[in-house]
């Protein structure tokens, strides 16, 4: 594998499924979560929330 393909692979791995790398990134993710609307807020705006991902009875 060439150096260029190794570098591209490393860059993809960093962006995909990785945890926050530092405190700055953790704080930014926290801000994003604070702005995230709840299902109830979306329904009040006439939008459909995310579908249920599981059945509570199971």
Model confidence pLDDT, tens digit, residues 25-42: 999 999 999 988 888 898
45-58 mean pLDDT: 76
The answer to whether position 15 is within a domain reads no
Residue-number span of the structural domain to which 33 is assigned: 20-45
Q: How many domains does the chain have?
A: 1
The answer to whether position 39 is within a domain reads yes
The answer to whether position 26 is within a domain reads yes
Q: What is the pLDDT of residues 3-16, one digit of tens each?
A: 777 777 776 665 65
The answer to whether position 30 is within a domain reads yes
Average pLDDT over the chain reads 80
The answer to whether position 11 is within a domain reads no
User: CA-CA distances (angstroms) from residue 49 to 17, 32, 35, 43, 58?
Assistant: 24, 18, 15, 7, 22
The model's pTM: 0.44
């Amino acid at each position: 594998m060439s150096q260029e393909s190794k570098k591209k692979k490393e860059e993809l791995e960093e962006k995909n499924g990785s945890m926050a790398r530092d405190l700055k990134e953790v704080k930014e993710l926290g801000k994003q979560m604070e702005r995230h609307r709840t299902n109830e807020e979306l329904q009040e705006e006439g939008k459909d929330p995310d579908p249920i991902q599981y059945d509570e009875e199971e």
